[in-house]
Amino acid sequence: MTFQTPFGGGPGPRARAFVARDAEVISPSYTRSYPFVMDHGEGYLVWDVDGNRYLDFAAGIAVCATGHSHPAVVSAIKEQADKFLHMSGTDFYYPQQIALAERLAEITPGAGPKRAFFTNSGTESVEAAMKLARYATGRPRIVAFTGAFHGRTLGSLSLTASKVVHRRGFGPLLPGVHHVPYGYCYRCPYNLVYPDCDIACVAAIEQSLFTREVPPDEVAALFVEPIQGEGGYVVPPDGWLQRLRELCDRHGILLVADEVQSGMGRTGKWFAVDHWGVVPDIVCLAKGIASGLPLGAIVAPQQLMDWPPGAHASTFGGNPIACEAALATIDLLDNGLIDNAAALGEAMMQQLREMARRYPIIGDVRGRGLMIGVELIEGAETRKPAHDLRDRTVEACYERGLLVLGAGFNVLRFTPPLVVDRAGVDKALQIFEEAVQFVSGA
């Protein structure tokens, strides 16, 4: 594809008018970085209400896996909408939900029979996993990571520790939740260097937390994002997840992989844990699973997901239209999109790493597949996190026709739909480079 007409140009008068109306009636707690007001989309391109065109390298927020309104997903939705819209999965049976559970059992890590519980969002998936972990182990405590984002309802918020604004004013949160440092080698919390450190951050959980503070036999689960998302797109070092698995096994703790952001093919494999061959006990899903329809799920071995009728349920969870959208999404992922994510993600990271050599404000480029983070810094010597510079870069990208979002304090993330092609990547990186030049005065 070649792009004849320019990108960007907003906000125009219609977008400005919507933004003004929004300010009157919509909760100000949402975090909009720039005034993009969506009109329609196709693949990885989107148009605002004034007719301006943008490259969407946000995909909503890492959601629109198959691009905007993929014809196969839309027709699955339409066909199901003609049949029925709802029939409480809590109280009745319908084939769509069963078929999706069977498909999820196939693609999630680990052999053996599994079961799924369906939700409407990531936070509900995490809530379900917390409840299941407590129920199955009879233990009350949970361990999570500094920088984690697991959602905003009170249970999942108790695990979230990426930004204080998420928590301020909402306490007290759930007791018995403990946070430990993530495997974040670019800013090692122990000031060590991988691999010489021998992954001391995992050993420290046992040597410190489990020795001085928390009896490990009271811990139900350890929740981990296999690649940390909202905390700053942090990829842990090789061996880190395996060590967590071993730690959990030693103490009878369930390993819960929150793959809400990193799952469903985004990283170039079905799930981020697959990069390290680790099999979690419970997998949490949402975001990309249904290409934008609200759906989430947890998947666990049959013998683990063995709670009695009434123990957990959801009126809307596993909506039949969302299930059909998910089945269509999974077929598309299976038939080329995951491979595309792996190949283009690798190419994109290579180009970004070359850029990092030219622009000292790019401190680190990391990711897997099309889950890519660029950490912006003030300079190579200090590596001081450049928060404002990151925000200005995000805005400068918008002004030039590229939609991207921040993650963490000073990271800019690229999460395009997995249907993106080489031309789209090249154009996006050209715009990103122009934005970097602009903000750094290069």
Contacts with ligand PLP by CB under 6 A lie at 121-123, 126, 149-151, 225, 229-230, 258, 260-261, 286
User: In angstroms, how far is the first alpha carbon of the chain from the final one?
Assistant: 30
Residue type, 285: L
Q: Which of residues 122 and 401 has its CB atom nearest to ligand PLP in the complex?
A: 122
From the CB of 286, what's the least distance to ligand PLP, in Å?
Answer: 5
CB of 260 or CB of 326, closer to ligand PLP? 260
Minimum distance, C-beta of residue 287 to ligand PLP, in the bound complex (Å) = 6
Reduced to 3 states (helix: H, G, I; strand: E, B; else coil), residue 41 is strand
Q: How far is the CB of 160 from ligand PLP (least distance, A)?
A: 8
Burial, 405: exposed, middle or buried (Cβ in 10 Å; 0-12, 13-18, 19+)?
buried
User: CB-wise, 10 or 147, nearer to ligand PLP?
Assistant: 147
Residue of 185, 150, 160, 183 lying closest to 261 (CA atoms): 150
Angstrom CA distances, 169 to 10, 123, 173, 178, 189, stand at: 35, 19, 10, 19, 27
Q: What are phi and psi of 394, to 5 degrees?
A: -60, -45
| Shortest reach from residue 258's CB to ligand PLP, in Å | 5
Q: Which is nearer to ligand PLP, 323 or 389 (CB)?
A: 323
Judged by beta carbon, residue 149 or residue 194, the one nearer ligand PLP is 149
C-alpha distances in Å from residue 138, one per residue of 114, 135, 169, 275, 355: 21, 5, 30, 31, 51
Beta carbon of residue 263, minimum distance to ligand PLP (angstroms, whole number): 9
Residue 225 DSSP SS3? coil
Position with the least CB separation from ligand PLP: 122
What's the closest the beta carbon of residue 359 comes to ligand PLP, in angstroms? 28
Please report which residue ranges of 215-332 form alpha helices under DSSP H. Answer: 240-251, 320-332
Distance of closest approach, residue 200 Cβ to ligand PLP, in angstroms: 25
Instruction: Between 67 and 229, name the residue whose CB sits nearer to ligand PLP.
Output: 229
Number of Cβ within a 10 Å radius of residue 11: 20
CA–CA separation, 119 vs 141, rounded Å? 23
Identity of residue 254: L
CB atoms under 10 Å from CB of 304, counted, come to: 17
Q: Which tokens belong to 146?
A: 């500094």
Nearest to ligand PLP of 122, 385 (CB atom): 122
Residue reference for tokens 């030049």: 437
Q: 28: which DSSP letter? A: T
Closest approach of Cβ 89 to ligand PLP, in Å? 18
Q: How far is it, in rounded angstroms, from Cα 51 to Cα 61? A: 22
C-beta closer to ligand PLP: residue 66 or 119: 119
CB 131, min distance to ligand PLP, A = 15
Select 321 or 405, whichever has its Cβ closest to ligand PLP.
405
